[in-house]
Structure 1
Amino acid sequence: MAKVSQLTELKGVGPKLAEQLHKLNIFTLADLYFHLPFRYEDRSRITPIAGLQPMRPAVFQGEVRGASVLFGKRRSLLVKLQDASGVISLRFYHFSAAQKKQFSNGATLRCYGEPRRGASGLEVYHPEYQLLEDGLDEPLEPSLTPVYPATDGISQQRLRLLHQQAHQLLRDQQVALTDLLPRSWLQQWRLPTLEESLLFLHQPDRNTPLEYLLSGQHPAQKRLILEELLAHQLSLHKIRAQVQAHQAPAINSPQQLQQQLLAQLPFTPTGAQQRVVKEIEQDIRQPYPMLRLVQGDVGSGKTLVAALAACDVLEAGFQVALMAPTEILAEQHLNNLSAWFEPLGIRCGWLAGKVKGKARNQSLSDIADGSAQLVVGTHALFQNDVDFARLGLIIVDEQHRFGVHQRLELREKGVQMGLSPHQLIMTATPIPRTLAMSAYADLDTSVIDELPPGRSPITTVAIADSRRPEIIQRVSAACAATTRGEPAAQAYWVCTLIEESEALQCQAAENTAQELQQALPHLRIGLVHGRMKAAEKADIMAAFKDHQLDLLVATTVIEVGVDVPNASLMVIENPERLGLAQLHQLRGRVGRGSAKSHCVLLYKSPLSFTSKQRLQVMRDSQDGFYIAEQDLMIRGPGEMLGTRQTGLQMLRVADLQRDGDLLPQVREMAEQLWNHHPQTVEPLIQRWLGEAERFANV
């Protein structure tokens, strides 16, 4: 018997329907099988009217005991339905005269809907219903009813009919679906085959508890969850293998430059910083590219770790490139690194979008001939006209702002004489364990889990903006007070707007600065926002750092890159508009000295439930990793990852929060498949990621 594989071989599927199915990423019959329900309805049994519960959809039937049109705020049709156990109301806001005529006294209706508490007891709004002929009892659904992701022009009923056809083909063995997991695994973990799993999930047995399916606990779901997570893990294995197939310079320098750098510092690196530097040094001694992610909370000293790693590479005669997502952060790095390296005879280069004309040509020339040894810049570093002489190490700061493909493009800049550069990725946004094991599985991970000594804890309070005058007075008192001869405190006032428009954010900051200047004429107030020229921003930041300003009004441009130890008070307006990671980053601008520090979250009432959760987390903790875990729970992985990984936002059956405990097992399975069943790797990736896997083509 010939095997069926094309959608158009199904009855009723012509070119038009096939095109609509493409919108759901259904291109083949196999895609249809993997287009899985996201919930189920139980239409397999009739619930007595007295047994109906609010907010729990059910099938019920009875005789019409009256239908009347009511005229209130909105015209509605109210139908009373009765069975042997009780009465329920059906309410329709959109109805026709012909429809009203159907509801004649004594007519038998079978309905499906969700009861809600109404003025006359339980009511069901716009239920699905059918009229039953006298003496005829329509059969109920034999299994739970699947509800599929749909699109315009394709109804649930159409999708269910297509699936019924497809399942029959599967049962008749007219379709071949390859089971890509080793049979021994299915036996070991008591998992069903692929065919059994798919047939069950599209038509679950009517006695399967809905809660069981909703929580993803059924063995058929577990089977597919494991396989989907495995496909994502393997796609990252593939990236790693492709990168590490290249040769890299094996760096084994005498570390004199590192000793010289440490000798000029007024402090000693923490134990955590020293441990992470050793991990990096072991990596760069290998003849293949390092791929290491360094996580460190706000203020943990990642820049120094990056500088110490750069020392060995520079000493070996190679260039180092540091890429940051914004010009303000890149400039901060340039200032820090120049201050450390220029006295040691290392020349720093600079390249950003604002570098134009002769200055840009000179920068490009210095990078190309190797006279710029340590190059700092933004994404401008991977533009076409940038050529490095001997790039040995790429440092990418704030990895979550870049996609995988962007740092891989920068890597291509370093491929000379057959050598690829090492890669060090840094982030001050702690990554929850489940995300680190899934979205960042192509990277080795180091954690700087210790803050430098002398950092003061930050007291965080949430206050409604109705108390704004009180907060302005608090800022006044803090900036004017001196204790025991120490200088008065300095403060930040951060303005946020929900609009993406930078112009509106800047306008809000300008208005706030004017308002505060009028209320606090005795304070020196500065303003920083994203539309100012870089030199102007740098001057104001420098003035604030030198305590020539008492209060700095700013947009979220100060989220990263400003270190003012004397600043001990921060007010964040509208904190409910920001994510936890960004709030944590902003708050990290204070508490950098020994003075007691405070953060005021000045929110607008009323707060949504999610906003209340966020602000409570900020009040409860300063632990970036705890905050990141809470952020994952509140926002979910798709929003946290941004655009980095298209695939992980498109999980079909797996859920990183719910199924995170499976990841250690999945990593082990990925290793085994990669090493012992390599022929199944590519088919698995294609089955689950398909088009989304294109980011892995490096």
Structure 2
Amino acid sequence: MTELSQVSVTALKGVGEAMAEKLAKVGLENLQDVLFHLPLRYQDRTRVVPIGHLRPGQDAVIEGTVSCADVVMGRRRSLVVRIQDGTGGLSLRFYHFSNAQKEGLKRGTRIRCYGEARPGASGLEIYHPEYRAITGDEPPPVDETLTPVYPLTEGLTQQRLRQLCMQTLTLLGPSSLPDWLPTELARDYQLAPLADAIRYLHHPPADADVDELALGHHWAQHRLAFEELLTHQLSQQRLRESMRSLRAPAMPKATKLPAKYLANLGFTPTGAQQRVGNEIAYDLSQHEPMLRLIQGDVGAGKTVVAALAALQALEAGYQVALMAPTEILAEQHFITFKRWLEPLGIEVAWLAGKLKGKNRAAALEQIANGAPMVVGTHALFQEEVQFKNLALAIIDEQHRFGVQQRLALRQKGVGGRMCPHQLIMTATPIPRTLAMSAYADLDTSILDELPPGRTPVNTVLVTDTRRVEVIERVRGACAEGRQAYWVCTLIEESEELTCQAAETTYEDLTAALGELKVGLIHGRMKPVEKAAVMAEFKAGNLQLLVATTVIEVGVDVPNASLMIIENPERLGLAQLHQLRGRVGRGSAASHCVLLYHPPLSQIGRQRLGIMRETNDGFVIAEKDLELRGPGEMLGTRQTGLLQFKVADLMRDADLLPAVRDAAQALLERWPDHVSPLLDRWLRHGQQYGQV
């Protein structure tokens, strides 16, 4: 029998070219796709529920006799049909109806209908139910299995999709849908046969546990989620292998430059910085490309570790590129690295998207001629940027860059043949469950120690009705010689309105705090203007800085010890934690005021409560994942995380350790099963493994 993955959907009865196009929109091109297009939920049409037992919000099949049918003139004209079954009564309401329909629902007609019972003016009502008249003494049989509800696209009905799935299920057999999980593996992890799981999920029996299915905890879902997560893991392993199979420049551990750098630094690196620094130094001395992720909480000193890595490559005579996702952060890195490296006689070049004309041409020439240290935005990925001998790429805030961009770096290596080592930094701690799945192609190092002298930030929640008190608090802090931030957050996702709000806030605060020097920084300003304001604030010439969330990452002013965040309920936890990390960078006690607008939603209350309770970025990341889900945290587009058909990273987190082991076993013992699995699950997703 032919494998279903090789049979086009046009082989099904009633599927011509037009229908095939519609099916392709939901990723259904062959019969295997149809079987893996699983229901979103189920309707229980396997029993008739007495009207008296119905609960509001319940979908149910009911039977009854029509007692009256009237056209009612309300805000919209509707046909209201009253039915009774001896246990109670219920109204059926139709907004779209014909005279023939009204005639067919005369008093005394027995009908069976299906729909959702909702509270109405006269007890429970069902809007636009599916219904049919019952003729004769014998009522029609009820369904024997739960009714699946599938994801649809325009021009596809549930009925049509159910018929196509029914047709395809009749062709399901061991040779038409091979189970690529070896029997031994399935037994070890107590996984049911694939065909049994697929059959069950398309047509659960009448006694199936609907709640268990709704929660995704059923054995059949568990079987498919395991296979899907396993495939995702294999694709990442394959990506890792393809990167590891390349050659990278092996660079001996540096001695001269790091010693000079540390002598100028003015403090000794923490134990964690030294440990991670040694891990990186070892990786850089190997011939295979380093792929290492450094996770460190806000202020853990990732940049110092990155600088030590850069010096190893620079001492060996190679180029280093450092990339950041925003101009403000890239500029900050540029200033920092100039300050650190120029005293060592190392030239630092700069490239950003906004650099135009002669300046851009000069920067491109400088890089092509071998400027040792290059700092910029993702403009460094562009094709026209040619490096002379790039050996190390440092990427800041990895979750803003996609897997594909990481791969694009390979072409930038020495002579286009050698692959640069990659060091990826993030100040957004990634929960272990996500790191195991989203970053399975990377080695991870954690900076779990804050530099000495850092003080935990005290966080308070204040309602915006006490705004005047908060302004006085700013006045008091600045009078003591401290500096403060006032952050305006996004208004309905509009950058323009947020910038306007920041300008208004700036004017209000300048008027209220006449004796203070107030600065303003937002996303619509030119990079030069932003840099100038930041420099003034850093130098202490401005006491208060009104800003949008452009200051979220990397801005370092140790004298700033107070931060006000307006409307913090609009932001995710990770972003709030990043913003709060701009204070507490010196030795003075620091405070963060979350100035919220009541009433808060339940999630809003939870989020802000967590911010008040903990300064630990990893705890915050776990909570953020629970409240928001993985796609939002990592940037859905880049990671493809929400393209899971069955699996859910939060719900199935407990499967990940077993999935990793199973992936390893499959690669070692059954390598020929890997490609068919990738083809089955990832053909429409991101092509992680095919690089």
Conserved 8 A contact 2:475-2:513: yes
| Local SS of the residue matching 1:169 | coil
Amino acid in the other structure paired with 1:348: V
2:532 pairs with 523, 539, 545, which one? 539
Query: 1:459: Cα distance to partner?
Result: 2.3
Q: Which residue number in structure 2 is paired with residue 11 of structure 1?
A: 13
Conserved 8 A contact 1:400-1:644: no
Q: Which residue number in structure 2 is paired with residue 44 of structure 1?
A: 46
Q: Which one is further off, 284-293 or 603-612?
A: 603-612
Query: 1:610: Cα distance to partner?
Result: 3.1
Q: Give the 3 Å change call, closer, same or farther, for CA 507–639 of structure 1 in structure 2.
A: same
Query: 1:322: Cα distance to partner?
Result: 0.5
Q: Which residue number in structure 1 is paired with residue 610 of structure 2?
A: 617
Q: Which residue number in structure 2 is paired with residue 658 of structure 1?
A: 651
Measure the CA separation in 2 of the matches of 1:72 and 1:405. 57
Measure the CA separation in 2 of the matches of 1:218 and 1:534. 53
Query: 1:72: Cα distance to partner?
Result: 4.2
Measure the CA separation in 1 of the matches of 2:616 and 2:395. 23
Q: Give the 3 Å change call, closer, same or farther, for CA 417–23 of structure 1 in structure 2.
A: closer
Q: Give the 3 Å change call, closer, same or farther, for CA 97–614 of structure 1 in structure 2.
A: farther
Measure the CA separation in 1 of the matches of 2:464 and 2:95. 41
Conserved 8 A contact 1:404-1:644: no
TM-score, normalised by the number of residues in structure 2 = 0.96
Query: 1:67: Cα distance to partner?
Result: 2.8
Query: 1:82: Cα distance to partner?
Result: 1.7
Q: Which residue number in structure 1 is paired with residue 215 of structure 2?
A: 215
Query: 1:332: Cα distance to partner?
Result: 0.8
Q: Which residue number in structure 1 is paired with residue 441 of structure 2?
A: 442
Q: Give the 3 Å change call, closer, same or farther, for CA 646–447 of structure 1 in structure 2.
A: closer
Conserved 8 A contact 1:65-1:81: yes
| Local SS of the residue matching 2:686 | helix
| Local SS of the residue matching 1:213 | helix
Query: 1:227: Cα distance to partner?
Result: 0.5
Post-superposition Cα deviations, 1:596-626, rounded to whole Å, max 9, x if no partner, equal: 2222222334433333332222222221111
* Correspondence list, 1:640-659, <5 A: 640-645=633-638, 647-659=640-652
| Local SS of the residue matching 2:564 | strand
Q: Give the 3 Å change call, closer, same or farther, for CA 190–561 of structure 1 in structure 2.
A: closer
TM-score, normalised by the number of residues in structure 1 = 0.95
* Correspondence list, 1:580-619, <5 A: 580-619=573-612
| Local SS of the residue matching 1:294 | strand
Q: Which residue number in structure 2 is paired with residue 199 of structure 1?
A: 199
Query: 1:417: Cα distance to partner?
Result: 7.0
Measure the CA separation in 1 of the matches of 2:521 and 2:129. 57
| Local SS of the residue matching 1:17 | helix
Measure the CA separation in 1 of the matches of 2:518 and 2:600. 30
1:139 aligns with 2:141: yes
Amino acid in the other structure paired with 1:433: R
1:309 aligns with 2:309: yes
1:632 pairs with 615, 625, 628, which one? 625
Measure the CA separation in 2 of the matches of 1:109 and 1:626. 56
Query: 1:492: Cα distance to partner?
Result: 0.8
Q: Which residue number in structure 1 is paired with residue 558 of structure 2?
A: 565
Q: Which residue number in structure 1 is paired with residue 375 of structure 2?
A: 376
Post-superposition Cα deviations, 1:310-349, rounded to whole Å, max 9, x if no partner, equal: 1211111111110111111111111111111111122211
Q: Give the 3 Å change call, closer, same or farther, for CA 2–266 of structure 1 in structure 2.
A: closer
Query: 1:226: Cα distance to partner?
Result: 0.7
Q: Give the 3 Å change call, closer, same or farther, for CA 521–43 of structure 1 in structure 2.
A: same
Conserved 8 A contact 2:310-2:392: yes
1:430 aligns with 2:429: yes
| Local SS of the residue matching 1:694 | coil
Measure the CA separation in 2 of the matches of 1:458 and 1:417. 47
* Correspondence list, 1:112-511, <5 A: 112-170=114-172, 176-370=176-370, 372-416=371-415, 418-480=417-479, 482=480, 487=481, 489-511=482-504
Amino acid in the other structure paired with 1:24: V
Q: Give the 3 Å change call, closer, same or farther, for CA 2–630 of structure 1 in structure 2.
A: closer
Conserved 8 A contact 2:322-2:394: yes
Q: Give the 3 Å change call, closer, same or farther, for CA 345–215 of structure 1 in structure 2.
A: same
Measure the CA separation in 1 of the matches of 2:190 and 2:254. 55
Contiguous gaps of at least 5 residues in structure 1: none
Measure the CA separation in 1 of the matches of 2:136 and 2:532. 87
Conserved 8 A contact 1:43-1:58: yes
| Local SS of the residue matching 1:133 | coil
Q: Which one is further off, 260-269 or 533-542?
A: 533-542
Conserved 8 A contact 1:44-1:144: yes
Query: 1:117: Cα distance to partner?
Result: 3.1
Amino acid in the other structure paired with 1:540: V
Measure the CA separation in 2 of the matches of 1:237 and 1:189. 20
Amino acid in the other structure paired with 2:436: M
Conserved 8 A contact 1:528-1:537: yes
Conserved 8 A contact 2:2-2:176: no
Measure the CA separation in 2 of the matches of 1:618 and 1:433. 20
Q: Which residue number in structure 1 is paired with residue 679 of structure 2?
A: 686
2:506 pairs with 502, 513, 527, which one? 513
Q: Give the 3 Å change call, closer, same or farther, for CA 625–280 of structure 1 in structure 2.
A: same
| Local SS of the residue matching 1:511 | helix
Conserved 8 A contact 1:647-1:689: no
Amino acid in the other structure paired with 2:304: L
Query: 1:302: Cα distance to partner?
Result: 0.5
Measure the CA separation in 2 of the matches of 1:284 and 1:109. 76
Contiguous gaps of at least 5 residues in structure 2: none
Conserved 8 A contact 1:565-1:593: yes
Q: Which one is further off, 572-581 or 509-518?
A: 572-581
Post-superposition Cα deviations, 1:191-246, rounded to whole Å, max 9, x if no partner, equal: 22221211111111111110121222222211111110011111111111111111
Query: 1:256: Cα distance to partner?
Result: 2.3
Conserved 8 A contact 1:646-1:692: no
Measure the CA separation in 2 of the matches of 1:230 and 1:498. 40
Amino acid in the other structure paired with 1:144: L
Amino acid in the other structure paired with 1:378: T
Q: Which one is further off, 144-153 or 591-600?
A: 591-600
| Local SS of the residue matching 1:153 | coil
Measure the CA separation in 2 of the matches of 1:555 and 1:258. 37
| Local SS of the residue matching 1:693 | coil
Conserved 8 A contact 2:236-2:688: no
Identity %: 60
Q: Give the 3 Å change call, closer, same or farther, for CA 680–609 of structure 1 in structure 2.
A: same
| Local SS of the residue matching 1:170 | coil
Q: Which one is further off, 317-326 or 55-64?
A: 55-64
Amino acid in the other structure paired with 1:187: R
Amino acid in the other structure paired with 1:367: I
Amino acid in the other structure paired with 2:32: A
Conserved 8 A contact 1:402-1:644: no
Amino acid in the other structure paired with 2:236: L
Conserved 8 A contact 2:3-2:177: no
RMSD, aligned CA: 2.0
Conserved 8 A contact 1:232-1:648: no
Measure the CA separation in 1 of the matches of 2:690 and 2:348. 33
Measure the CA separation in 2 of the matches of 1:694 and 1:563. 38
Q: Which one is further off, 8-17 or 590-599?
A: 590-599
Post-superposition Cα deviations, 1:67-103, rounded to whole Å, max 9, x if no partner, equal: 3344444444433322232223333344333333333
Q: Which residue number in structure 1 is paired with residue 102 of structure 2?
A: 100
Measure the CA separation in 2 of the matches of 1:98 and 1:271. 83
Amino acid in the other structure paired with 2:271: G
Post-superposition Cα deviations, 1:520-539, rounded to whole Å, max 9, x if no partner, equal: 11111111122323232222
| Local SS of the residue matching 2:506 | helix
| Local SS of the residue matching 1:430 | coil
Q: Would you say how many aligned residue pairs link Structure 1 and Structure 2? A: 689
